[in-house]
Amino acid sequence: MSTKYEFDNGTIESFCNTNGVTIELTVNQLNRLVSEGKTPLLVEQLTNVVDQLCPDEENLRKFIEQKSVEFNPIALSLYILNDDLWKIMARKQDYTEKMLPMTTIPWFYWEKDAESRENPSGVRKLDDLKHPFTVMFEKGFLIIQGKGGDFAGLLEGRIVDQHKGIRPIIIPGSIGPTKIVARYESQLLRIKLDIQSSKANLYPHPMKELDYVFSENPRVFYDHGIQIEIDGEDVSGKVGNRRENTLRGKVILLIGKDFNETTDSSSILMFHVWLAMMNRIPFL
């Protein structure tokens, strides 16, 4: 497997010189640099960089924790697949066979005024850099924290619209959109996973059963991301000041970063090394 993003020779050399590592390119990669000017990197090459930067598990954990803050904003979408949630999805206006995320970082929410030809779903995205995405290790568990959106059900648009501030009291005949939309509350979020029970997959393809409307674009996870699958009984979530709860069902966790406006390919390369480190988590 290789990265979907391609790097030029100058980026690779600069990265190696700055971080004191080596990346041995294959003949095919060298030929591609000559013919195309860029080449993808193999996951094995990224893993080799991980070994050079972090000779033991303690250094690897510290590196993952440190870089998770430096790379902000980082996107996360957490999906839970179980029968009760599928029954809720049946009330959606569209794509009832696709599951909405239960938790996202950053916060994605619906707003009537945001609907347009370019944004027919009316979804806005709000990063909260005051509460950065963080990753920590604690006694065999991976803990992810940040500020984002928590799924709070499917309701009429006139109740959900965040633009109106305090949720209005709805009485018969009152005005406002009555179509059913997803409500996401802005909350401090904490996710705790048993790393030994998780299964990681770099650069995941979009899944037909997942709804990405209230999520970072699936292309972001495909180009610069990782997917972690785990049984709900091995995951717990805490929302705001509420009690921590164990999840139920199949959990799919997507983590990635949008680099569309980034011109520094060296930072993109380091993020892919970080992803390769995250890919090691089930084996720590």
| Three-state DSSP class for residue 249 | coil
- Asked which of 54-58, 94-98, 187-191, 216-220 is least confident by mean pLDDT, the reply is 54-58
- At 176 the pLDDT is 61
**Per-residue confidence at 163, pLDDT binned at 50, 70, 90?**
low
Q: What is the pLDDT of residues 222-275, one digit of tens each?
A: 999 999 999 999 999 999 999 999 999 999 999 999 998 777 899 999 999 999
> Is cis: bond before 106, omega within 30 of 0?
yes
**Rounded average pLDDT over 165-181:** 60
Q: Which sequence spans correspond to the domains of the chain?
A: 1-71+262-284, 73-256
Of the ranges 14-23, 147-156, 176-185, which one carries the lowest mean pLDDT score? 176-185
Per-residue pLDDT at 55: 87
For residues 209 and 99, is the Cβ–Cβ distance under 8 A?
yes
Please report how many Cα atoms fall inside a 13 Å half-sphere around the Cα of residue 92, on the Cβ side: 19
Give the 3-state secondary structure of residue 179. Answer: coil
Q: What is the DSSP letter of 68?
A: H
Separation of alpha carbons 51 and 199, rounded Å: 20
- pLDDT of residue 148 exceeding 90, the answer is yes
Average predicted confidence (pLDDT) for the chain = 90
Global pTM value: 0.91
Residue 11 pLDDT greater than 80, yes or no? yes
